[in-house]
Each structure stands twice: as C-alpha cells, then as structure tokens.
Amino acid sequence: MNKSTPPTTGKAAARERLIAAAIRVFEREGLRGATTREIAREAEVNEVTLFRHFQNKDGLLAAVMEHKMQLHTELLETESIWTGDLAHDLHEYGKALYRALGKSEAFIRMLVGEAKRQPDYSRHMMIDASRPTCERFAARLRDALRNGRMRADLDPVIVVDAFTDMLLFGMLRETAQWMPYYDAESYVQTYVSVFIAGLAAPKTKQTSKRGNTPTPSAKKSNTPPKR
C-alpha cells in the first residue's frame, strides 16, 4: 500500500460515515425524530463510537452543519471563480452555489420545517454554521467596494443574504416543479444579471483629455437651431 494514500478505515473513516449517515437520518426523520442509535446503525458503527467523536446528537448536528457549509466556503476560495471582475465572479459563484444548494435540497427542506417547531435552536445552529461562509463572501464584496466596483451605500452582509436567499428560493421552486416555462439556468442568469446591475458602482462621467471639461458629445449648445 502506498504510504501517501490516506487510510480508508479508522477514526477518520468512522467520523465520515457518521456524518453521512446523520445527514440521511436527519433528512428522513427530522432533528427531533433522529436518534443517535439510528444514526449509528445507519453508519454501521457502535453508538459508543458516535459519542466518542461527537459527544451527543447536538455535537453531531453541528459537525453536519460545518460539513455542509465547508462545501460552500470552498467555492469562495476557488480561483477560477474569483478573478476580480465583479460581474463574472458573481455569475460563476451564483451558478456554482445554485448547484451546491440543489445537492442539499432535502436537508435544507428539513431545516426549514424544523425552524417552525424549534425556532431558537434552528436559528442558533444556522447562524453559527453559516457565519464563516457569510463573512468570507462579505470580504469578497468589500474588495469590490474598495476597488470602486460596488456601490458604497450597500451593506455587504445584507447583500450576501439577499444574493444567497434568492438563489435558495429559486432552487426550492425548481425542485418543487414550480418554475413556469423557463429553466433553472435562465433563472440564475437573469437574477444574477439584475442583481449585478443594482450592485455595481455608478460610472463616472466621461471627460476630455484636457481635464474635467465634458467631451463635445456631452456639451449642451446654447445656439438656437437654424431655420
């Protein structure tokens, strides 16, 4: 066996199986209905192993949330997405994020349902889990703000929430088959285009090479038109 190959058994493998099993059980049973015994059975490990890794169900859920958000954080670190061109970057990130949200549809719907039954607990879990990803996205937007590519009157944190929430809503509509004649790709393309139009910093007026004098095309003539 190649020494550089990571092992497929042991503590790391057990932890990965427990997280994968927990996602399936949470999706199927909800936060309240899922039990550590059922999750351990699904992962084919002893329940004691679950407690050794995560202490309790809350600890396991926190690890699941961290795992889910880590996938989104990786998109924010992908160099091919973030080039410094705001329009390009948000289009590429929007498409990638939409696909990532779609892969977690069942888990997201479970969280939405649980938010009604356990609002304080669900809100606490979501805020804690999503904070690093939101902060990284907001940092990307602050870079655009410093470089004059984004409006200065907008709060980057609110922009992050608005961008993410509309893509999330679109994904939920698509998977529920509520979209009319257009497809998901058209939805994402149109939404991000409209979003960027409202986000972009206003362009400065064109000036001539001599200074701040408007170019001839921008001058207003006081000469009455010839008859």
CATH classification at residue 41: 1.10.10.60
**Could you tell me if 51 and 122 lie in one domain?**
no
What parts of the chain have a pLDDT lower than 70? 1-9, 124, 204-227
Tokens of 201: 């910093």
Report the pLDDT value the prediction gives residue 212, as an integer from 0 to 100.
54
Report the pLDDT value the prediction gives residue 3, as an integer from 0 to 100.
42
**Could you tell me if 21 and 132 lie in one domain?**
no
Report the pLDDT value the prediction gives residue 131, as an integer from 0 to 100.
87
**Could you tell me if 127 and 83 lie in one domain?**
yes
**Could you tell me if 136 and 183 lie in one domain?**
yes
Report the pLDDT value the prediction gives residue 218, as an integer from 0 to 100.
47
**Could you tell me if 42 and 70 lie in one domain?**
no
Assess if residue 50 is contained within a domain.
yes
**Could you tell me if 100 and 185 lie in one domain?**
yes
Summarised one tens digit per residue, pLDDT across range 170-203 is 999 999 988 888 999 999 999 999 999 999 988 7
**Could you tell me if 117 and 185 lie in one domain?**
yes
Q: What is the pTM of this model?
A: 0.77
**Could you tell me if 127 and 194 lie in one domain?**
yes
**Could you tell me if 36 and 69 lie in one domain?**
no
Report the pLDDT value the prediction gives residue 161, as an integer from 0 to 100.
94
Number of structural domains in the chain: 2
Report the pLDDT value the prediction gives residue 171, as an integer from 0 to 100.
94
Q: How many CB atoms lie within 10 A of CB 14?
A: 18
**Could you tell me if 104 and 180 lie in one domain?**
yes
The set of residues, in sequence order, having a beta carbon less than 8 Å from that of 101 and lying 6+ positions away, is: 108, 167, 168, 171
Q: How many CB atoms lie within 10 A of CB 206?
A: 9
**Could you tell me if 84 and 40 lie in one domain?**
no
**Is the Cβ–Cβ distance between 25 and 38 less than 8 Å?**
yes
- The whole domain housing 101 covers 64-201
Report the pLDDT value the prediction gives residue 222, as an integer from 0 to 100.
56
